[in-house]
Amino acid sequence: MSRTKLQLPSNVPALRASQDKKKEEVTMIQQLKNFDVDRMDLDELVGLASFGRIIGDEFDKLSGEIPEWLQANLKSLRREIHARQADALEALLKEKKARRDNLTPAEERRKKLDEEIAALEAKVSQVGV
């Protein structure tokens, strides 16, 4: 006897949404098991880490044992999230410094450049070029 999959009519949105949600949960677990940080943006990484934390908490409550693959993937996700946040902060800091430098008077910038040129000339003379 072959099993046939029950096809719901499109006019039954509540049941269809329930089936779609089950598919989505499986997809999230599969994403958590096989995620690729290069293909995900920061929001997706944070969402996946949140889902993983919920799954980990549930494993902890039910069996007291969180699977090794989940621990390893959560650690990787957190590292990637922290690295991206640090990169974004560094880029913002660089932008703010550049904006601040543009606000300094021309004479002050000229003086700073003269000091940098003098320091470079001193290094060149030490090297003997």
- The pLDDT value given to residue 18: 53
Whole-model pTM: value is: 0.60
pLDDT of residue 53: 95
Q: Is 11 or 57 the better-scoring residue by pLDDT?
A: 57
Residue 37 has pLDDT above 90, yes or no: no
Which of these ranges, 13-17, 29-33, 75-79, has the smallest mean pLDDT? 13-17
Please determine, for residue 10, whether its predicted confidence score (pLDDT) is greater than 90: no
Scanning the structure block, which residue is given the tokens 């949960």?
Answer: 25
CB neighbour burial string for 48-76, b if at least 16 within 10 angstroms, e if fewer: bbebbeebbeeeeeeeeebeeebeebbee
Task: Between 22 and 28, name the one with better pLDDT.
Answer: 28
Q: Which of 32-36, 100-104, 111-115 has the highest mean pLDDT?
A: 111-115
- For tokens 């929001």, the residue is 43
Q: Per-residue pLDDT for 60 more than 70?
A: yes
In this predicted model, which residue has the larger pLDDT, 22 or 128? 128
